[in-house]
Chains A and B, each alone.
Chain A
């Protein structure tokens, strides 16, 4: 494990990773000297200052940091919802930093899966139709869409709720539908933005269990959260402060120490 991301802070190596195995894995996310500046001139705000970060295939990683630390901006750039002002971003070895809107939409559709705090299910569609939606934009054939959506919903344990509308589902179930929607196009990366922020502690555990299972089956997950309880269940924590990566491989047990700084 080499020091790629930190500049003035010590590197915390991953406890479980055997370095020989680790280095052979393909890199999913590679941010290189990414800066993001909002606005112009005197009102310009630097949200990200020279961020470099790597996430390899199969990792389960949490992004933490105080509000305003740049973690959301980083998430947006990783999610191809936003472009860096300078620097490079390689997603699955493709430089996506300066692609056009249409290409980014295509990448979001096929390579990324999103899970949001507010679920963002379409209320007029059933669970099954919500999960089928990304495949509509991907141009998957109707019969296959249904098959894959049922499989994804089964995977999150909602095979009995296929035809329920979102308002007929509990919060935890809605988030599971959203997770099914995120994985249905078999993305290379699953992005979750405060996925448990709107859930109580019990359903939080339910959802975290699903993330854990998905990760165990090989899906790469990056999750923004401010709950250390949630972050502790991941394998690796990236800590943002003032638009920079403070720690790129923080151990779950050291959260309290860093957070108090």
Chain B
């Protein structure tokens, strides 16, 4: 008897017992659907995290004052350091030092506390930010300590509503600033709403608002540095560290830290990969349970079909014929279940993608793995019942009426 005959026979048997066949498949369907959907959700979380970090700018390094294990923040990171990095480190594309403060911003009767950032002209290019309206700060603004301000889109909405903000005056720390630009909306990153900030020249910030706080120069909150490309991130990190150690005349421990997104991304990746694995493991267990379900129902089916097996053997089926027939039945059930599960799982992911911000992805690899694993499970869990069927004594099988 060839394999084609066996497949035909298995299909007709399964079709004759539709209820039993579909119930058997159910476990595998659920298992596969959950594997595909949960892995998709895990990847969605990963994508979202990557997007969040990507919104800080690409290939960005952050130079922050203080070493990782320092308790007190030194005041040694200054504007001159940023200029030195920009001019002396070859693998750096642009440098954006900034001074962050929370200040009360007032426009007519509206007042709001918001984060005010003393920035330099390269800021938008380093942080991957666009200007929606007007212009950003220029070198001239910095040179003149100009009282000009660029506002984020949310802040624009809060203060001006539908009114055109360009050219309006807002009050900040008893100074009147002219609005010269509005940033494009960017969304929040790691819990900070980047659209709610206001940007003024870093010189104005240090000279007119913060004042002289450090004996070393204009103290900055941190410096964002964008490397030339992904490959130069590591060399930029190394070169910046060397330069700053020289400038700060450091012999022992650094008084600054150069953080790359890479290390942060690695942490986030580790977390999200762990999450994906966890979800996959849970789903894998349901797949396994589905497989055991197949074995269970196949075993029941063997005892239910004792007569049939006995008769088939009496009219000439060999043990191998029976074995193959039952294994094929199990494999058909589990592969079909896997296919249906894939459809449901992919459908679920599309639904999740449509109703939640998670951009859950259907990974083709996951589908291939899930379907072949469920086929394998059918094969594996089909063997025990199939062997039992094949080894039935035809005399006993026929007489057990």
Report the Cα distance A95→B401, complex, angstroms: 32
Of A105, A114, A122, A138, chain B has the most CB atoms within 10 Å of the CB of A105
The reply to whether B316 and A137 form a contact with Cβ atoms under 8 Å apart is yes
Contacts of B12 in A (CB 8 A): 124-125
Given known pairs A120-B307, A120-B310, the reply for A133 and B318 (CB within 8 Å) is: no
- Whether A105 contacts B395 by the Cβ 8 Å rule is no
- A82, A124, A181: the one contacting B315 at CB < 8 Å is A181
A235 within 8 A of B: no
B314 within 8 A of A: yes
The distance from the CB of A67 to the nearest CB of chain B, in whole angstroms, is 13
Give the residues in chain A near B312, CB-CB below 8 Å: 133, 137
Inter-chain CA distance A25–B310, complex, in Å, is 33
Q: Closest residue of chain A to B318, judged by CB?
A: A105
Complex formed: what's the CA distance from A118 to B321 in Å?
Answer: 23
Residue-wise interface mask of B (287-318) relative to A, using a CB-CB cutoff of 8 A (1 in contact, 0 not): 00000000000000000000110111111111
Is the pair A120, B395 in contact by a Cβ cutoff of 8 Å?
A: no
In the assembly, what is the distance between CA of A243 and CA of B232, in Å? 94
Q: Interface centre among B9, B12, B17, B316, by most A CB within 10 Å? A: B316
Judge if A79 is at the interface, Cβ distance under 8 Å.
Answer: yes
CB distance from A145 to the nearest CB of B (A): 10
Inter-chain CA distance A123–B9, complex, in Å, is 13
A81 and B314 within 8 A (CB)? yes
Q: Provided the pairs A106-B318, A137-B321, A138-B316 are in contact, do residues A120 and B1 lie with their beta carbons within 8 angstroms?
A: no
Complex CA distance for A81 and B314, rounded to whole angstroms? 7
Query: CA of A110 to CA of B316 in the docked complex: distance in angstroms?
Result: 8
Interface membership of chain A positions 169-196, coded 1 if the CB is closer than 8 angstroms to chain B and 0 otherwise: 0000000000001000100000000000
- B251 contacts chain A at the CB level, 8 A cutoff: no
Residues in A whose Cβ lies below 8 Å from that of B398? 116, 120
Chain B residues near A134 (CB-CB < 8 A): 315-316
Contact mask B366-401 → A, CB, 8 Å, 1/0?
000000000000000000000000000011001001
Does B266 have its Cβ within 8 Å of any Cβ on chain A?
no
| Closest chain A residue to B13, Cβ basis | A124
CB distance from B2 to the nearest CB of A (A): 8
Mostly, the B contact residues are helix
Please, which residues of chain A bring their CB within 8 A of the CB of B308?
122
A2 interface residue, CB < 8 Å from B? no
CB 8 Å contact bits of A115-151 with B (1 = contact, 0 = none)? 0101010111100000001101111000000000000
In the assembled complex, the CB of B61 is this many whole angstroms from the nearest CB of chain A, namely 71
CB of B72 within 8 A of chain A?
no
Decide yes or no whether B319 CB sits under 8 A from chain A: yes
Q: Report the separation of the CA atoms of residues A125 and B307 in the bound assembly, to the nearest whole angstrom.
A: 14
**Which of chain A's residues have a CB closer than 8 A to the CB of B320?**
102
User: Quick one: given A108-B314, A124-B12, A133-B312, are A76 and B395 in contact (CB under 8 Å)?
Assistant: yes
The reply on A109 being an interface residue by CB < 8 A is: yes
Cβ of B16 under 8 Å from chain A: yes
Most buried by A among B5, B311, B313, B314: B314
Known: A116-B398, A137-B1. A124 touches B318 (CB 8 A): no
Question: A76-B395, A81-B395 given as contacts; is B316 within 8 A of A120 (CB)?
Answer: no
Question: Which residue of B has the minimal Cβ distance to A198?
Answer: B401
In the assembled complex, which residues on chain A have CB atoms less than 8 Å from the CB atom of B394? 81
- A102 — which chain B residues lie within 8 A by C-beta? 318-320
Tell yes or no: A227 within 8 A of B by CB.
Answer: no
Segment 181-223 of A: residues with Cβ below 8 Å from B: 181, 185
The contact sample of 22 A-B pairs, CB cut-off 8 A, is A79-B314, A81-B314, A82-B395, A101-B318, A102-B319, A102-B320, A105-B313, A106-B316, A116-B311, A118-B401, A122-B311, A123-B16, A133-B312, A134-B316, A137-B312, A137-B315, A137-B316, A137-B317, A137-B321, A139-B1, A139-B2, A181-B315
**Given A118-B401, A123-B16, 17 new contacts (CB under 8 A):** A81-B394, A101-B318, A105-B316, A106-B316, A108-B315, A109-B317, A114-B314, A116-B398, A120-B314, A122-B308, A124-B16, A133-B315, A134-B315, A136-B1, A136-B5, A137-B1, A137-B318
- B residues sitting closer than 8 Å to A (CB atoms) are 1-2, 5, 9, 12-13, 16-17, 307-308, 310-321, 394-395, 398, 401
